[in-house]
């Protein structure tokens, strides 16, 4: 696996595909109806509803483009499970100088959510962990300096 590639899990791909169907169908129709209504109110140069709806339409189309780009360029992975840390791997690490162990899952950048223990393979920590094995030590740079971790478990 290439550490620099864009990855998404099969679950994320399904969620993005469902969102795309919703955005291209009901959401797009909703905005078009709102635009028709706003146009019927008269002078478009001073029509706040029209301008707001056009802005919403722009955001919708941008999101559709982003999802389509993600789906076209991302590699779908099933998940880790091996001895080497890759996308989908569940990792338990211990910060040097502490006894506390932390659990993380390595995910693609679209799924990263540090609050839920999902680390992007493109983050400094994710890059340091990628390709390593149980028992190895990793060092990476943070805003407060260099940090060292020991890999306790990989699954």
pLDDT at residue number 9: 83
Q: Is the confidence at residue 78, as pLDDT, over 80?
A: no
Q: Tell whether domain 79-154 is in CATH 3.10.50.30.
A: yes
Instruction: Tell the residue number behind the tokens 């899990």, with chain if given.
Output: 9
Mean pLDDT of 8-17: 90
Strands in the chain per DSSP E: 7-9, 75-77, 90-95, 101-107, 118-120, 137-142, 145-154
Q: What percent of the chain has pLDDT over 70?
A: 95
Mean pLDDT of 16-23: 97
In tens, the pLDDT along 83-104 reads 889 888 899 999 998 999 999 9
pLDDT at residue number 2: 63
- Same fold? 7-76, 79-154: no
Q: Is the confidence at residue 106, as pLDDT, over 60?
A: yes
Q: Is the confidence at residue 3, as pLDDT, over 60?
A: no
Domain ranges of the chain: 7-76, 79-154
Distance CA 136, CA 129 (A): 9
Question: What is the dotted CATH code of the domain comprising 7-76?
Answer: 1.10.287.180
Q: Is the confidence at residue 154, as pLDDT, over 70?
A: yes
Backbone angles phi, psi at 32, to 5 degrees: -65, -40
Q: Is the confidence at residue 5, as pLDDT, over 70?
A: no
């Amino acid at each position: 696996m290439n550490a620099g590639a864009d990855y998404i899990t099969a679950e994320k791909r399904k969620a993005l595909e469902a969102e795309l169907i919703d955005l291209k169908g009901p959401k797009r129709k909703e905005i078009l109806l709102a635009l028709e209504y706003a146009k019927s109110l008269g002078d478009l140069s001073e029509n706040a509803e029209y301008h707001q709806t056009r802005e919403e339409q722009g955001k919708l189309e941008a999101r559709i483009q982003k999802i389509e780009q993600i789906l076209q360029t991302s590699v779908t992975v099933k998940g880790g499970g091996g001895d080497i840390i890759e996308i989908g791997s569940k990792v338990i690490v211990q910060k040097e100088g502490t006894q506390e162990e932390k659990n993380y899952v390595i995910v693609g950048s679209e799924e990263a959510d540090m609050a839920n223990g999902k680390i992007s393979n493109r983050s400094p920590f994710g890059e340091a962990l990628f390709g390593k094995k149980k028992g190895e030590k990793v060092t990476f740079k943070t805003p407060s300096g260099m940090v060292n971790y020991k890999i306790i478990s990989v699954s």
